[in-house]
Amino acid sequence: MPFGYHNKILRADLTEGKTSIEEPGDLVYRKYMGGSSLALYYLLAELPKGTDPLSPDNVLIFAPSIITGTQIAGGSRYTVAARSPLTGAYGEAEAGGWWGPELKRAGFDAIIIKGKSPKPVYLWIHDGEAEIRDASQLWGKLTGEVQDAIHGELGDTKVRIAQTGPAGEKLVRYACIINELRHANGRTGMGAVMGSKNLRAIAVRGTQKVPVADEDGAKQAQRHVRENHTKQPGDLSDLGTPRLVEILNESGILPTRNFHDGEFDGASNISGKKMKDTVLAKTGTCYACPVACKREVAFEDDRFKVEGRYGGPEYETLASLGSFCCVDDLKAVCAGHQLCNEHCMDTISTGVAIAFAMECYENGILTKEDTDGIELAFGNADAMVAMVEKIGKREGFGDILAEGIQRAAEKIGKGAEKYAHHIKGQEVPMHDPRGKTGSALSFATSPTGADHVEAPHDPFYTGLNPKGGEPLSLMGMLEPADPLDMSPKKVELFYHGQLVWSLYNCIGMCNFAAAPLGPVPLRVLCDHVAAVTGWDTSLFELFKVAERSSVMARAFNYREGFTKSDDYLPKILHRPLENGKLKGHKIDTERFQEFLKTYYEAMGWNPETGYPTRGKLAQLDLLWLEDVV
């Protein structure tokens, strides 16, 4: 009997209206474990090269992992992956909550979805069984309405529901997938892929226990977290990720005014403290996590009605709908956040798209005639909220922004592309590499386009010391580096940090709950994997899985025509910041090219092509990629 997994993957062919169960075998689980790595294994094997991301042939995969659903803080994560309709590259997004653990309790390790249903449907998965049910009555409805309707139909409010929303149905290219109305697989447009298949939701209920090899051993990690989580320097239980608004503002790197500025006058009005003092209804958490970094906001006034069940804005949302659009109206940001969750849109791409349009408007490229009569100026909170809704409905000018800023700039013309800050077509998230250079590597080289969760951010490298004791010293990261450093030292730290976060995506771990941000140290995590699975495993083996995942993602993109010329930063990041503590700082273009070259070499990738060498493929037991790429 396997431990940590069931050896059961659910397949759904929506064209045929059929489901089946596959048993991949122990070797697949040990080599790929789950999450992003397992998803890439299947995508590379089964997704034909050049598939239109919004066609029935795209393959959509939901993958928890070997520790999902076991008792460990942060062990709630699952990956959704497919070819991205936003970038054309590898698409992937992770979410926490309870849905992933529930899928494991229902007896499945992953779901592979192919085809397109002739009519709207939802998948109902319960204790080893699955059925495809009619969802015609749910089509066009907001996420809250759909959740209520499915709970009513199934007669059980404990059913966990992951769904896309009206934005996914309308193929907004950055539509996301939301579970429990608040936990988002946010980036790369996985909700649009779901919508393109006429699949509105996946409802899950399970009563089985995830099989664990060593019950006592598997309890150790949670004991450690209970005793230590409030001692963390970056403890998120008080203010959650919104605490970052003021920290980054004081550091001069709070993305503001479409990346012109690093400091926002209105930062305190959209801060974690302001949220706590005004609109916070209660805090929230994910499965088995004492960190409880989630927020719920609720209020009703003459402008907005915001409900706690949609959660509350995280840091990324406060910045993208707030400082990036120069909006310092917290209630408007909360309303924009709720609209995103009701329609299922990535809040980062939504905010960046609106800020892009605001800059076009301020420079006369767009007028009120183009924007449906809306005065789309920086700082106009009502305009921001109105535009969020228009994007979700693909209504008027919202239809253009729903395409993502790369395509929107092409449609608008008149030089709009200089205000469209994206990488591989994905909108840049709310971190400024001009003040933390590791993020420059993260953004440029991420297989999913601009991505802030490739590796721990540079401040985590400032406290390293040769005596160890730091959460990352176990990786041999012993010497500090300045956030502005662009030497090979930073490449070394980024390389190892990237392995750590890639590992989390492979084993279903939340990066806020584990080292270096959270209370689960790497050694404890490794012991937990061993206790759950019964494998005599090691960090060496786990990092091999993590690197395998990074290389498979690189191979996926290479197959789709991406080259090292797609590893770039938007031009604005090579220009000086215009205000704040780091005014004048920029990423030097030539030094960045050197930085990239050193990174490729450190990865074992050919610096001329940016593709993994044959030796690297052999080292990771990935020579089979030569047959599929």
When asked if residue 512 is in the footprint of ligand SF4 (CB under 6 A), the reply is yes
Task: Give the HSE-up count for residue 156: Cα atoms under 13 Å, Cβ half-sphere.
Answer: 11
Instruction: Identify the CA nearest to 166 among candidates 447, 398, 485.
Output: 398
Interface mask (CB under 6 A) for ligand SF4, residues 452-491, using x and -? ----------------------------------------
Count Cβ atoms below 10 Å from residue 240 Cβ, excluding itself: 24
Residues 579-608 within binding reach of ligand SF4 (CB under 6 A): none
| Nearest residue (CB) to ligand SF4, 123 versus 286 | 286
| Nearest residue (CB) to ligand SF4, 229 versus 585 | 229
When asked if residue 356 is in the footprint of ligand SF4 (CB under 6 A), the reply is no
| Nearest residue (CB) to ligand SF4, 51 versus 285 | 285
Tokens of 162: 């992951």
* 195 sits in which H/E element: helix 190-196
What type of residue is 541? E
CB of 237 to ligand SF4, least distance (A): 9
Tokens of 290: 């004492």
CB of 183 to ligand SF4, least distance (A): 8
Interface mask (CB under 6 A) for ligand SF4, residues 274-303, using x and -? -----------xx--x-xxxx---------
CB of 100 to ligand SF4, least distance (A): 10
Nearest-angstrom CA–CA distance, 345 and 391: 9
Nearest-angstrom CA–CA distance, 400 and 390: 10
| Nearest residue (CB) to ligand SF4, 289 versus 412 | 289
| Nearest residue (CB) to ligand SF4, 353 versus 513 | 513
Alpha helix stretches (DSSP H) within 363-404: 381-393, 398-401
What type of residue is 580? G
Helix orientation angle between 539-559 and 488-507, rounded to the nearest 10 degrees: 90
| Nearest residue (CB) to ligand SF4, 223 versus 414 | 223
Sign of CA dihedral 25, 28, 30, 33: negative
Nearest-angstrom CA–CA distance, 408 and 431: 22
Asked if 378 and 358 touch (Cβ cutoff 8 Å), the reply is yes
| Nearest residue (CB) to ligand SF4, 513 versus 555 | 513
When asked if residue 237 is in the footprint of ligand SF4 (CB under 6 A), the reply is no
Nearest-angstrom CA–CA distance, 75 and 526: 13
Q: How far is CA 357 from CA 69, 168, 367, 398, 414, in A?
A: 42, 22, 10, 10, 13
| Nearest residue (CB) to ligand SF4, 9 versus 348 | 348
| Nearest residue (CB) to ligand SF4, 115 versus 240 | 240
Q: Given candidates 36, 37, 76, 79, which one binds ligand SF4 under the rule CB under 6 A?
A: 76
Rg (CA), the chain: 23
Tokens of 312: 């509350």
When asked if residue 74 is in the footprint of ligand SF4 (CB under 6 A), the reply is yes
CB of 507 to ligand SF4, least distance (A): 13
Q: Given candidates 171, 510, 555, 569, which one binds ligand SF4 under the rule CB under 6 A?
A: 510
Segment interacting with ligand SF4 (CB under 6 A) among 43-51, 510-518, 558-566, 589-597: 510-518
Nearest-angstrom CA–CA distance, 328 and 305: 18
CB of 500 to ligand SF4, least distance (A): 15
Segment interacting with ligand SF4 (CB under 6 A) among 99-107, 123-131, 262-270, 508-516: 508-516
Residues that bind ligand SF4 (CB under 6 A): 73-74, 76, 96, 285-286, 289, 291-294, 510, 512-513, 518
